[in-house]
Amino acid sequence: MPTEQVEITHLLRRWSEGDRSALDQAMPLLYERLRDLAHERRRHQPAEPSLNTTALVHEAYLRLTAGVPLDLRDRQHFLALAARVMRNLLVDHARARNAAKRGGGATVAELDEDAWISTVDLDAVSELEDALRKLEAADARQGLIVEQHYFGGLSTDEIACVLEVSPTTVKRELRSARAWLAAELGQERGA
């Protein structure tokens, strides 16, 4: 394991044990990877223009650090959790925006950092989220693999490490999950 990853893992474990300063030391080491995750997250999910990459990283950080320290095993585990938080943030923002379009009256501040797509099929975001939740209910591991790979940008080897399975298992489960999601999304659209 590279030295930086060992250092990050050590700092995250110290934070898990209650040392707040350890997280403050780890964040500069994790920041660029979190930005990459946020960018991947936005790339694989219909764009949510009210939440740019930087804002997504900062909101995810706030959610991850808001309560008691998490029980983290290593860097990959932290990144997997960050991917889930980012997914939830994007879905929450898309649903709030959709509610506003349907008469909810909420105002959304536009933050334009990277000239992201300004139009989004908000119903598609909800359909995808619903399909992912059904997949997670049917097969929790497949749900995690999809989330970590497509939305978290983790490699097959990183996912295998987080889930403590072989890379071959990850590849097989990913193929199965893709087929399941394609069928589920086709049913939701009446195909």
Task: Give, in degrees to the nearest 5, the angle at Cα 60 between 154 and 32.
Answer: 55
Q: Indicate whether 122 pLDDT > 80.
A: no
pLDDT in tens, 53-81: 788 888 888 888 777 777 887 888 888 88
Report if pTM > 0.85: no
Place of tokens 């909800």: 126
**Which residues make Cβ contacts (< 8 Å) with residue 9, sequence separation at least 6?**
1, 73, 74, 75
- Among the residue ranges 69-73, 88-92, 109-113, 126-130, the one predicted with the least confidence is 109-113
Q: Which residue has the higher pLDDT, 107 or 51?
A: 51
Task: Give the whole-number percent of the chain exceeding pLDDT 70.
Answer: 74
Long-range contacts of 30-34 (CB under 8 A, 24+ apart): 30/75, 30/78, 30/79, 31/57, 33/79, 34/60, 34/61, 34/79, 34/82
What per-residue confidence (pLDDT) applies to 108? 40
Q: What one-letter code names the amino acid at 145?
A: I
164: confidence class by pLDDT, cuts 50, 70, 90: confident
Least Cα distance to 42 among 76, 104, 34 occurs for 34
| H-helix segments, the chain | 3-16, 20-44, 53-65, 75-99, 122-138, 140-146, 156-163, 167-188
CA distance 38 to 63: 14
Residue 114, pLDDT > 70, answer no
Q: In angstroms, rounded to a whole number, what is the distance separating the alpha carbons of residues 34 and 83? A: 9
Task: Write the DSSP symbol of residue 69.
Answer: P
Is residue 123 within 8 A of residue 46, CB to CB? The reply is no
Contact 13, 75 (CB under 8 A): no
Write down the domain spans for the chain. 3-188
Distances (CA, A) of 50 to 14, 26, 94, 110: 35, 28, 9, 5
